[in-house]
Structure 1
Amino acid sequence: MSDEAGVRALFARLADAWERGDGAAYGECFTDDASYVSWVGTVYRGGGDIGRSHQVLFDTYLKGTKLLTGGTTDVRFYGDDTAVLTSRGDVGKKPGKASKVQTFTFVRRNGAWKIAAFQNTKRRPLLERLSFRFQPETRPAAA
């Protein structure tokens, strides 16, 4: 399996754990010292804490939801054992608009890929368009 296939396989495993509402399996995708920043700004540390907190969410607010990916993911490697995956997505019960952008930092430890850091940001398209209109030089070159 190629490095990119390994990273994408872990990303798929993460989505599967979410869809099954399995907090423990979700947390196992992360390193023991991972940092996880939710879209509301809450910071969790380590796969155990991430899995525990998500189980509560899976049992309540996020029950029956799945990770909805916007279909756009970019995987970049920084050496043999580090990769960054950027995606657009959201959560919900049926397909919808990808209103968030996520950044995952993957590391390979003992031959296995794990997520070491996660950042989730809610998109503000109107503010983004206004910024680009009044300050065009703020538009990303890749846009």
Structure 2
Amino acid sequence: MSDEIKALWQRMAEGWAAGSGERFAAVFAPDVDFVNVRGEHQQGREAVAKSHQTLFESRFRGTTLGVEEPAVRIVSADAAVVHVASTVDSETARLVRTHAQAVVERRDGAWLITAFHNMVPAS
């Protein structure tokens, strides 16, 4: 179960590397509550895909998402809380380091991120 949940972040990183908002957002539930590093709330997978596509076509064009080992705490057979640190890197520099807390649920046999709060930690 934990490996399936951790794989969501690998898929997210693959979508980021491809510059595809749609692929990046595919790990989120259709009704996800997503809070980005600026504290802006987005509701729904489509909104997350659209906002990330804009980033991939501008500020984060050609960047990669590095993901550290997610810490998964199973809270029921169909739910978990995940903490994970990540980085956004260009070919020459680290652009940002973040920490996210997520709620992951199993829906119709598939694990999806249903709530995601991302932030930039203090130095």
Deviations 1:61-104 (A, max 9, x none): 111111123x3421110101111111112212247497321112
Contact 1:89 1:100 in 2 (8 A): yes
Equivalent pairs, count? 122
Deviations 1:32-81 (A, max 9, x none): 11011111111111111100111111111111111123x34211101011
Q: Counterpart of 2:38 in 1: which secondary structure?
A: coil
TM-score by length of 1: 0.78
Describe the shift of the 1:47–1:97 C-alpha distance in structure 2 as closer, same or farther (beyond 3 A): closer
SS for the counterpart of 1:99 is strand
**Which whole-Å CA distance do the structure 1 matches of 2:36 and 2:90 have between them?**
19
Distance 1:11 1:93 in 2: 19
CA distance in 2, matches of 1:30, 1:115: 5
Higher helix share: 1
Counterpart of 1:23 in structure 2: which amino acid?
Answer: G
Gaps of 5+ in 1: 126-143
Query: What code does the residue aligned with 2:70 have?
Result: T
Q: Which has the larger radius of gyration?
A: 1
Question: Residue type of the partner of 1:7?
Answer: I
Structure 2 runs not aligned, ≥5 long: none
Higher relative contact order (CA 8 A, sep 6+): 2
Moved over 4 A (4+): 94-98
1:1-143 to structure 2, matched below 5 A, reads 3-69=1-67, 71-94=68-91, 96=94, 99-125=97-123
| Root mean square deviation of aligned Cα | 1.7
